[in-house]
Chains A and B, each alone.
Chain A
Amino acid sequence: MSLLGEPELTEDGEFVINIGPQHPSTHGVLHLKVWLDGETIKKVQPHLGYIHRSIEKMSESLSYRNFIFATSRMDYLSAHINNEACALTVEKGLGIEAPPRAQAIRILMAELTRLSSHQLWWGCMGLDLGAVSPFFYGFRERESIMEVMEETCGARLTQNYMVPGGIMYDIHPNFQNRVKNVLKQIKENFKEYDDLLTGNVIFEGRTKGVGYLSPEDAISYGCTGPTARGSGVSCDVRKWFPYDGYDKLQFNEILETGGDCYARYMVRMAEMRQSVRIIEQMIDNIPEGDFQTKTKAVLKLPKGEFYQRVETARGELGVYIVSDGAASPYRIKYRSPNFSNLSALEHMAKGAKIGDLVAIMATIDLVIPDVDR
């Protein structure tokens, strides 16, 4: 290996290059070692660990109320849903349930988070494929959602609004009006999204038939979320294992059968519309009552193992807590969606061109801090 001199060639005459860890299209500190034959990808090897903060180990020394804040830093684009997963697991262990008002607010916040996450993905996807303007259009509506979050939760990205037993404090009086305005704006903007990217011939040429993932492979690699649903695998946790009252809501699980980048793109675009549909059902029907159930000052889970899964914007997040009866968890494991989705990258990228690798990575929608934790 020489850094400055001759390029590294393998015995078969393959050319090895490193993409990342500091590369704009890897969306973070992901390091991809790529073996190339000309411009065709022979092999991709993701190298992880550049942003490992040992959140799981750190949580073992924190109490059940305190460890939740760190999960905002895992998948920072769906921080809310991560916090919800932790709160739900602790509630499962304690044998309590959040009051109806808290559940409704949790769903509203989770769907707003999903909307903002998908909008950021949409902008970044355009940017990755060479179109700069979608980035600004995607961020514009996202900003209005961030303002709603700021007003009610007190923070824009790392909200930490969930506590075991409900939510930290009640919604802001402006919340409902503001969300309605945001929804009105977003529904108008969906048309703009379609005008800019969806129907564009260059975009279709870059994504259609690129990065095919068969349903069998999606299952065997453990892909979840829009990545698997683009291949026709039904895996929406909100439908299969409803939590926080998702079973009372009317929404569709989006499935596409294409399995390519375009199918994954269409799944996310349709999911945004479903999120809007869910928020519209909930926004005027937030039940009155408490926003938090009374819990003890020091939470202690009974001895045992507890698992709870939720659907984040990227797939299925599982929180697994082993408790030995003490005030802090004995072991915590997060089953993060991005790690499993990244493992399918090599399968998808094999045989594709190097420009397509960027398109494939954009449609998996990677968030690297969630891969490393």
Chain B
Amino acid sequence: MFIKDYIGTIYKSTVSLLKGMKLTGYYFTHPKKILTEEYPDNRATLKMADRFRGEVVMPHDDNNEHRCTGCQACEIACPNGTIKIITKQELQADGKKKKAIDAFVYHLELCTMCNLCVVACPSDAIVMAQTFEHSVYDKRQLKKTLNKPGSKIMEGVE
């Protein structure tokens, strides 16, 4: 009885071992099925998904105009204090004063890419960019001002 069990175990072990070896051997001899992304060699062709959340950016049009009114909805929506909006009073053409942004300060080092600021924005001024290579040598470089120098608000955005 003991001998029978012993031989049975050896047979079962060999079969299960070969079963596994067959599978790994198949993939060893069929390298086309390998799915590894060869980053950073494929950097030129690598395209992230449209909705991928890399960092917050503020799109500007050709006239260097953005859509941010300085309402600070994103600043309130942010859970980490990533966004700081500094506003100023700007003199309009008709002599009236209007609130406008002086600097849209964005701390990339604090951002968790939760997308809540983009959802909160009433005028679609900020979007998520698909960049992901954020490493820098100095922490200060992660503090970004999103509005370009000399930019102003687009006509008709309230």
Q: Which residues of A contact B (CB under 8 A)?
A: 62, 65-67, 69-70, 133, 140, 143, 147, 150-155, 158, 160, 163, 168-169, 172, 192, 195-196, 199-202
Shortest CB distance B121–A (Å): 13
Identify the 6 closest CB pairs spanning chains A and B, nearest first: A66-B79, A69-B114, A154-B51, A201-B13, A154-B53, A151-B49
Q: Give the docked Cα–Cα distance between A200 and B128 (Å).
A: 47
The verdict on B148 contacting chain A, using a C-beta distance below 8 Å, is: no
| Minimum Cβ distance to chain B for residue A295 (Å) | 12
CB <8 Å contact, B128 and A67: no
Contact A62 B51 (CB under 8 A): no
Known contacts A154-B53, A192-B23, A201-B9; A168/B16 CB under 8 A:
no
Inter-chain contact B23/A195, CB cutoff 8 Å: yes
Would B16 and A65 count as touching, CB distance under 8 A?
no
Chain B residues near A143 (CB-CB < 8 A): 35
Alpha-carbon separation in the docked complex, A163 to B79 (Å): 14
Q: Which of B19, B51, B78 contacts A152 (CB 8 A)?
A: B51
Given A199-B16, A201-B9, residue A66 in contact with residue B77 (CB < 8 A): yes
B residues lining the A interface (CB < 8 Å): 9, 12-13, 16-17, 19-20, 22-24, 35, 48-53, 77-79, 112-116, 119, 128
Question: How many angstroms between the C-alpha atoms of A15 and B20 in the bound complex?
Answer: 38
Say whether, besides A69-B112, A143-B35, A168-B115, A201 and B49 are in contact (CB < 8 Å).
no
Nearest chain B residue, comparing its CB with the CB of A298 = B76
Interface contacts beyond A66-B78, A158-B114: sample of 7 additional A-B pairs, CB < 8 Å, sorted by A: A65-B77, A66-B79, A154-B49, A154-B113, A169-B119, A172-B49, A200-B19
Q: Which residue of B lies closest to A66 (CB)?
A: B79
Q: In the complex, are the beta carbons of B52 and A70 less than 8 A apart?
A: no
> Cβ of B128: which chain A residues have Cβ within 8 Å of it?
154
Q: Which single residue of chain B is at the shortest CB-CB distance from A153?
A: B51
- B90 CB to nearest chain A CB (Å): 26
Closest beta carbon of chain B to A106's beta carbon, Å: 17
Task: Indicate if the CB atoms of B35 and A155 lie closer than 8 Å.
Answer: no
- Our count of residue pairs bridging A and B at CB distance below 8 angstroms stands at 71
The interface residues of chain B lying within 8 Å CB-to-CB of A201 are: 9, 12-13, 16-17
Across the interface, name the chain B residue whose C-beta is closest to A192. B23
Q: A195 and B20 in contact (CB under 8 A), knowing A69-B79, A151-B51?
A: yes
Contact A133-B24, Cβ < 8 Å, known A62-B79, A65-B77, A66-B116: yes
CA distance A62 to B79 in the complex (A): 7
Q: Given A195-B20, A196-B20, A200-B20, verify A154-B77 contact (CB < 8 Å).
A: no
Instruction: State how many angstroms separate the Cβ of B68 from the closest Cβ of chain A.
Output: 19
Residues of A within 8 A of B119 (CB): 163, 168-169
Given known A196-B23, A199-B19, A200-B20, contact A160–B115 (CB-CB < 8 A):
yes
- Cα A172 to Cα B128 with chains together (Å): 16
**With the chains together, A200 CA to B12 CA distance in Å?**
9
Expressed in whole angstroms, the minimum distance between the Cβ of A250 and any Cβ of chain B is: 32
Contact indicator B16/A200 (Cβ below 8 Å): yes
Contacts of B53 in A (CB 8 A): 154-155
Q: How far is the CB of B110 from chain A (nearest CB, A)?
A: 13
Interface residue from B16, B22, B51 paired with A172 (Cβ < 8 Å): B51
Write out the residue numbers on chain A whose beta carbons fall within 8 Å of the beta carbon of B50.
151, 172
Whether B35 lies near A140 (C-beta < 8 A) is yes
- Complexed CA–CA distance, A152 and B35 (Å): 21
In the bound complex, CA of A322 to CA of B99 (Å): 39
B52 with A154: CB separation less than 8 A? yes
Bound state CA distance, A308 and B53, in angstroms? 29
Q: Do residues A65 and B19 form an inter-chain contact, with CB atoms below 8 A? A: no
Q: Which chain B residues lie closer than 8 Å to A67 at the CB level?
A: 79
Q: How far is the CA of A199 from the CA of B22 in the complex (A)?
A: 14
Chain A residues whose C-beta falls within 8 Å of the C-beta of B114 in the assembled complex: 69, 158, 160
- Which B-chain residue is minimally distant from A144 (CB atoms)? B35
Show 15 A/B contacts (Cβ-Cβ < 8 Å), sorted by A. Answer: A65-B116, A69-B79, A69-B116, A140-B35, A150-B51, A150-B52, A154-B51, A154-B53, A158-B113, A160-B115, A196-B20, A196-B24, A200-B17, A201-B17, A202-B13
Task: Give the nearest-CB partner of A172 in chain B.
Answer: B51
> Considering the chains assembled together, what is the distance between the CA atoms of A151 and B113 in angstroms?
15
Q: Which residue of A lies closest to B76 (CB)?
A: A63
- Given the complex of chains A and B, what is the CA–CA distance between A152 and B16 in angstroms? 40
Task: Pick the contact of B113: A140, A152, A155, A199 (CB < 8 A).
Answer: A155
Inter-subunit contact A154/B112 (CB<8 Å) = no
Instruction: State the Cβ distance, B18 to closest chain A Cβ, in Å.
Output: 10
CB distance from A125 to the nearest CB of B (A): 15
What distance in Å separates the Cβ of B38 from its nearest Cβ neighbour in chain A? 14
Give Cα A192 to B53, complex, Å. 34
For B130, the closest partner residue in chain A by CB is A154
Residue in contact with B112 in the complex, picked from A65, A158, A168, CB distance below 8 Å: A158
Quick check: A195 and B49 within 8 Å, CB to CB? no
